[in-house]
Structure 1
């Protein structure tokens, strides 16, 4: 079994190898074409010269009164006609009858040899060209024509002129040698230019590598310098990744410090309670409830920071999506059971079918769950939930609206309601983290939450979040996604 030869990993060698192969093929094709054109040109010139000699032989050819052919060699200008095996020959054949008479007249240069031309049909005056073997096996180029000396005569004379191709072949060979040397020099110059081009073209990658080494060694925080426009997007994206990693590290340190501070405070409170119970045994009965409250505070803080960490990690992650319809339906089913004793009515209107949140499903459940839970706590009898697509003006977004018919929140207090730990009514259950969690998670995803007055008379919470561009119909909750506006009403019975 033959093993495949691995390609070199060097981009420089790949470019040079591809350039060499392409240039070599182009040079070889050019050499083959130029050599063929030159050979064709020389051959045509050779044929033209032989045709001129054939015209001279034809002009000097005569037939006497007895029908015998005559041609005076002295009347031919080229002295090679008389020099034996000089490389230039003429011959006259008589084509009378079925068997032609070859060499009725011939040049002295043929000596005792004859020209053997192929037997083909020629019209009067037509010239044919052949390649034949001559004296001593020499390669000859032969031109021929037939003539009739007078009207009414049946005798046809075949005039042949041939010349040795050695001079032509030598000229072509000399030209090919010069052409090969020239093309070899051209190939070398082209490869030198290719090497220069590759070195200059890949020089920015060396600068990029030096910048990466500086970032890895801690001498720089970002890639700096001017790069070509083909490389600059890569540098920008890499710098974006570095900045995002820096932000994640800073955020993680801040969250770890906040969580440690929150837990440390609760631990200190519980330790103080334990010391107080030891010093005052009569307070020991209240200690379990006191510890339970502090554990609940710690649990909420842990959940708070876990939600923030999960949202920060999922922000901008490709391929993460959560369909809105099934999440809303599941939350309403849970809330209808949690607040069953209040007999609330849940009105759901999902305007856009197949809406999907570009983030983790748990985060969508966290945000919507807090908004719906808050609405249920304050609603008198009804909670309205709607979801729709925001007309695109950049990043695609979706709008989630949760309304109730409760007392609402005064305009001057709505901004404070989103702050962490703020409780506008100390008598109501909760820790003041619900709306703050929604606010911070939405900001981590590049969204926002706004509080206002709803058409039901209570609080209206409007949540803007990023959405996926493709809207895929869900098969999980057909009641929410059927038609342009699907409405579902849930009744929480006591």
Structure 2
């Protein structure tokens, strides 16, 4: 897979993990906000509940003396913080009978020489208001206040306050613990998502490896156990391969039937023309028969190429094929006593294609070399690595060199054309190298003609796709 941005965005693994990361991160943030809000609300509710109990306690101790002045017995209050200066727990009584409020008519010893600067608001009897304001030492205080009427003409405001520092520290500690917990949970969920994606995509990776093996010719079918969602695809793909084999077999049969059907009458015509060679018709018949045969051979070769080239699961050992062709050529050209030599090469070199196509290409080139050679034909085989990182397969290279008369460089492109023969005295149809050229092109290979370094003869080089060892 490409490592660039486009390849990364096209990766199914990246898409799944990115979507999981985005979704889980959003869920963690929302969970953090909601949990923090709920915890803060719960803590403040409990804080105000305890403060309301303190307000009720102070209210219960409030009374009036004989002159109607407020009186609170501080010793009757149970919490010792009321007596300790700046302890964080305070109470204060204000006289709001007149339009001008008298602050701090009574206050707890813990306030020492300070007063609670409460905001001016209207309180109905028995109603409790809550405020947050600054207290001694710039501390933040939570205040609850209520009005008390000892009789109709007198109205007092009683308030209690507590320092929020401990509560805020508790909330901050919870936030830190929550953030750490959610971050750890996020990492665990991402690890689980990575494992889930890896396990989920493993069948697809196995399928990719199976396709590579099929393309490289190591097998002819996709095999292995896949999940039910993927197995249907594998079964359908194998069905396509079976159908393709069936179509190829039927095409070959039909091509063979056509060849047999046409060659018999052509043979009869050829024989008849030879028996009546005194007439002017005989040369014409022989010429037309030869042309018909060339066309039949040409079209049969093209039909076979179109039917078989590019099928998956094909690999042919090159050296073994050449050994068989060398034995055939030694028998065919036995009267000429040619020295046909095959250099020892890597026997693991394999052609990524059909055996009959390889035999067609190598056989035509080798037969052509034997026809033109004076005394020797030399064959070399080796493998070449892929020329670029994008090429998944390497090349197998075959050189067939003869010591014949060779040909001028300007004539070499012409001999690759269908039916062209530079020397009519040499038997043949002129289709051999043309068919080889077409086959090589279909397989994406190269065919090159050149004069050997020794300056005589002809060297034909074939570069063909190689199956991995």
Relative to the length of structure 1, the TM-score reads: 0.54
- Equivalents in 1 of 2:243, 2:148: separation in Å? 96
Deviations 1:283-329 (A, max 9, x none): x6799999999999x999x99xx99x99xxxxxxxxxxxxxxxxxxx
Q: Does 1:219 find its partner at 2:218? A: yes
Are the counterparts in 1 of residues 142 and 164 from structure 2 also a CA contact under 8 Å?
Answer: yes
When residues 38 and 277 of structure 1 are mapped into structure 2, their CA distance, relative to the original with a 3 A threshold, is same
Map 1:143-222 to 2 at 5 A: 143-150=144-151, 152-153=152-153, 155-222=154-221
Aligned to 2:417: none
- Equivalents in 1 of 2:115, 2:266: separation in Å? 125
Map 1:22-421 to 2 at 5 A: 22-150=23-151, 152-153=152-153, 155-278=154-277, 281=279
- Equivalents in 1 of 2:202, 2:289: separation in Å? 65
- Secondary structure at the residue paired with 2:276? helix
The range that moved more, 205-214 or 105-114, is: 205-214
**1:116 Cα offset (Å):** 2.0
- Equivalents in 2 of 1:8, 1:70: separation in Å? 78
**1:212 Cα offset (Å):** 1.5
Aligned to 2:419: none
Are the counterparts in 2 of residues 270 and 291 from structure 1 also a CA contact under 8 Å?
Answer: no
- Equivalents in 2 of 1:164, 1:233: separation in Å? 70
**1:166 Cα offset (Å):** 0.5
When residues 217 and 289 of structure 1 are mapped into structure 2, their CA distance, relative to the original with a 3 A threshold, is closer
Are the counterparts in 2 of residues 270 and 294 from structure 1 also a CA contact under 8 Å?
Answer: no
**1:95 Cα offset (Å):** 1.1
- Equivalents in 1 of 2:287, 2:259: separation in Å? 18
When residues 118 and 266 of structure 1 are mapped into structure 2, their CA distance, relative to the original with a 3 A threshold, is farther
- Equivalents in 2 of 1:34, 1:61: separation in Å? 40
Are the counterparts in 2 of residues 273 and 287 from structure 1 also a CA contact under 8 Å?
Answer: no
**1:124 Cα offset (Å):** 0.6
Deviations 1:70-99 (A, max 9, x none): 112111111111211111111111112222
Are the counterparts in 2 of residues 277 and 287 from structure 1 also a CA contact under 8 Å?
Answer: no
Structure 1 spans left out of the alignment, 5+ residues:
311-494
Structure possessing the higher relative contact order (Cα contacts under 8 Å, 6 or more residues apart): 1
**1:241 Cα offset (Å):** 2.6
When residues 292 and 218 of structure 1 are mapped into structure 2, their CA distance, relative to the original with a 3 A threshold, is closer
- Equivalents in 2 of 1:188, 1:269: separation in Å? 85
- Secondary structure at the residue paired with 2:185? helix
Aligned to 2:361: none
**1:39 Cα offset (Å):** 1.1
The range that moved more, 244-253 or 211-220, is: 244-253
* CA RMSD in angstroms, aligned pairs only: 3.7
Relative to the length of structure 2, the TM-score reads: 0.57
Deviations 1:322-362 (A, max 9, x none): xxxxxxxxxxxxxxxxxxxxxxxxxxxxxxxxxxxxxxxxx
Are the counterparts in 2 of residues 125 and 147 from structure 1 also a CA contact under 8 Å?
Answer: yes
- Equivalents in 2 of 1:129, 1:196: separation in Å? 52
- Equivalents in 2 of 1:125, 1:238: separation in Å? 83
Are the counterparts in 2 of residues 266 and 294 from structure 1 also a CA contact under 8 Å?
Answer: no
When residues 293 and 191 of structure 1 are mapped into structure 2, their CA distance, relative to the original with a 3 A threshold, is closer
Structure 2 spans left out of the alignment, 5+ residues:
307-469
Aligned to 2:406: none
**1:200 Cα offset (Å):** 1.9
When residues 293 and 188 of structure 1 are mapped into structure 2, their CA distance, relative to the original with a 3 A threshold, is closer
- Equivalents in 1 of 2:123, 2:70: separation in Å? 20
- Secondary structure at the residue paired with 1:148? strand
**1:50 Cα offset (Å):** 0.3
